Amino acid sequence: MSEHIVSKTIYFLIFGALMVLTVLTYWVALYDFGALNVVIALAVAVTKALLVVLFFMHVRYSTRLTKIVVISGFFWLALLIVLTLSDYFTRPGTSGVGGVPASRSTR
């Protein structure tokens, strides 16, 4: 039973951080940073998710195998997204991220 018990203090600290970050999510959304909007929103969300994964889900204290499993999950999701977009963002009529293809028009 080599189990690591995370103290209650850490749980409450993480909880506080998550609350702050939630408010931050909302607050930054009120301002327009142009293309950075998505980046900022995702950065905050990823930070929150990392806190939950590392502390609430104990990954920080887990075996290397668990860490590899977690990372591979997100890695495969990235594969799916990147390779699919490699098609869409190189189609004629699109202008990269945010581009509306010329052929996409009416109902």
Name the residues that contact another protein, by CB under 8 A. 1-3, 5-6, 8, 11-12, 15, 18-19, 22, 25-26, 29-32, 37, 41-42, 44-45, 48-49, 52-53, 55-57, 62-63, 65-66, 69-70, 72-74, 76-77, 79-81, 83-88, 90-92, 97-101, 104-107
Q: How far is the CB of 60 from another protein (least distance, A)?
A: 13
Q: How far is the CB of 34 from another protein (least distance, A)?
A: 10
Residue number, 15 or 60, with CB nearest to another protein: 15
- Contact between 41 and 29 (Cβ < 8 Å): yes
- Among residues 64, 28, 68, 34, the alpha carbon closest in space to that of 48 is found at 28
Q: How far is the CB of 40 from another protein (least distance, A)?
A: 9
Residue number, 60 or 63, with CB nearest to another protein: 63
Type of residue found at 87: D
**Dihedral angle computed from the Cα positions of residues 44, 50, 51 and 55, in that order, rounded to the nearest 10 degrees:** 180
Q: How far apart are CA 43 and CA 100, in angstroms?
A: 25
- Contact between 63 and 73 (Cβ < 8 Å): no
